[in-house]
Every structure is written in structure tokens, then in C-alpha cells.
Copies of this chain bind each other. A is one copy, B any other.
Amino acid sequence: MHDLQKFFADTARLVEEELDRLIPSEDRGPTTLHKAIRWSVFGGGKRFRPILVFAVGQTFGADDRSLVRTAAAIEMIHTYSLIHDDLPSMDDDDLRRGRATCHKKFGEATAILSGDALQALAFKTIAEDDALDSNTRIRLITHIASAAGTPDGMVGGQQMDLDAEGKDVSRSGVESIHRNKTGALIRASAVSGAVIANANQKDVRRIEQYADDLGLLFQITDDMIDVCQTSEALGKTAGKDVAANKATYPSVYGLRAASRMAGELLAKIESDIADLGGTNSLLVDIARFVLERES
């Protein structure tokens, strides 16, 4: 078993150092905007998507320098989506990772602009990444922009989630919401690691399947944590999904069935990447970690 905690901490540090270099400093004008962006980006996220970029990239032999900017770019897109999701007209959340959300602290207009600026900076970052050749950058931007947009991406999934609020959602409905809303960017993270490492087409497809299942596992455990934990432990308002009558795995399947599904997914994930050979252990460890995490 890898020293997962060390791998997580090392990757988060590398990515955060890169984010600090890439994002305009707080004393650069317009200072409100850059403060708001930094407030949200450096708010103590788990950096799960960057970790996935690194884990898959390293599995196929890519070095840190070629992975770090894409990982940072994906974290920018993830952060922008959290800022916009928290807005009053969306999930209307006051707390994120134990601190005021961007719009609570800086106002709605600046929060909207912070998200907008982060999305632009993400694509600029990849386009300017001189550790990668032009073709690789183009492939990454294509994957990540598709995963961030609509119909089969994050924004499409967020709209489906909004449309489903207060309605009875079928099992295939909840799956398709999450496959787009959170799954697409998680898949793009894993695929980006493989693309940077120049993995062959067969392995890229295996990684896609792995990431699809891992994304689903992540969502199921996320939904279960929302039901089971206190706001204090979460650092955000707990039980909000239930209160908003959101389509979640526990609400559609029940808590015990959702928990069983999670266990079965781990087995499936192990088989997804069985053929990658002896180097797949980091990816399996990450899936196990996602299953067992408590926040």
C-alpha cells in the first residue's frame, strides 16, 4: 500500500504552489476580484481532481512538471463551479469548507466574476503550458472544455440537477445528473493524466471506465456523508440535499442500498484496471480511500 496521505499532501502542495503562481496576486488590481478568487481557491479543498491527474499520470510514467499545470487548471474549473453553485439563485449556501462562501464575503457580482475569471484562466493555463507539445494541449482543452460544458458536462448536469429539485427522479435520472455534474470533470481529470503521459488508446479507455466508476463512487459517498455528518464536521451546511429535495443516492435508493452499491463499485473499479498491470495499485488505493472517507 502506498503512503497515500503523503502522496495526497505532496500533490496538493505542488498544485497549490502552481495556483499561487498562476492567479493574479491580491495587490494587483482589481484587488477585490483577486482577493475573492484567492479566498475560494485557497479555501482548503481536498484537491481530489488534481490528485487524480497526478495518480493516473504517474501510473503511466509522466513527471510532475508535465502534470502540474493541467492539474491546477482543472482545480480552477472545479473551484469556479463551486463558487457559482453556492450563489443565492443556485444552492444558496453560506458556508463552504468551514468558511463564508465567495458571495457571502465579497458579494454576488464579484462571486460571479470570480468564477468567470477562473474558467478563462484555466484554459489560458493549459494553452500556455510549455511543458507539453501543442497537440497534447489541444487534446487536454478539448476533453476539459467538453467536461465543463453542456450537454454532457458539468454545467449541463447542474441544470439537470436544478430541473430535478422537488421532483421524483428515476434511478437513471439521478445517475445521469451525477455523471454530468460531477462525473464528467472527474473523468476528464483521469483522462488528462493519461493523455499527458501519452498512454495508448486501450489504456485511455480503461482509465475512462475507472474514472466513471470512481466518480460514481465519489458521488454516492458524498451523498451519504451529507446525510450522516454534522455541519461542523463537513465545514458546510449538512442535510442540505434532503432539505432541498435533491436527487441523491440515499434518497432514491435508501441508505443501505447506496452503501452496498458503493462496495460493489470498488470491486468493479479493481477489475476496470486489472489489466493495466502491476502499476495500478495507487489507483486502487485511491478508490478504497474514496469508499472509506468520512468527509
Contact = CB atoms under 8 A, between A and B. Distances in A.
Given A138-B137, A142-B124, A150-B24, A160 B119 contact: no
A110 interface: yes
Interface residues of A, number: 50
Interface in A57-93: 80-81, 84, 87, 89-90
Interface in A121-166: 121, 123-124, 127-128, 134-135, 137-138, 141-142, 145-146, 148-151, 153, 155-156, 158-160, 162-163
A162 B87 CA distance: 18
Nearest to A91: B109
Nearest to A125: B145
A32 B215 CA distance: 26
Contacts of A109: 87, 89-90, 162
A113 B149 CA distance: 9
Contact of A123 (B110, B145, B160): B145
Q: How many copies does the complex hold?
A: 2
A36 to B, nearest CB: 9
Nearest to A28: B151
Specify the main secondary structure of chain A where it touches its partner: helix
A259 B109 CA distance: 32
Contacts of A116: 80-81, 84, 115-116, 119, 148-149, 155
B124 A156 contact: no
A113 B160 contact: no
Contacts of A28: 151
Contact of A149 (B81, B84, B124): B124
Given A113-B155, A142-B128, A30 B160 contact: yes
B33 A155 contact: yes
A105 to B, nearest CB: 14
A149 B112 contact: no
Contacts of A135: 134
A61 to B, nearest CB: 23
Interface string A98-123: 00000000011110110111011101
Given A30-B150, A123-B141, 13 more contacts: A30-B160, A30-B163, A33-B150, A34-B151, A89-B107, A116-B116, A116-B148, A120-B145, A120-B148, A120-B150, A124-B146, A127-B138, A127-B142
7 contacts: A29-B151, A89-B109, A89-B112, A109-B162, A116-B148, A124-B145, A141-B141
Interface of A: 24, 28-30, 32-34, 37, 80-81, 84, 87, 89-90, 107-110, 112-113, 115-117, 119-121, 123-124, 127-128, 134-135, 137-138, 141-142, 145-146, 148-151, 153, 155-156, 158-160, 162-163
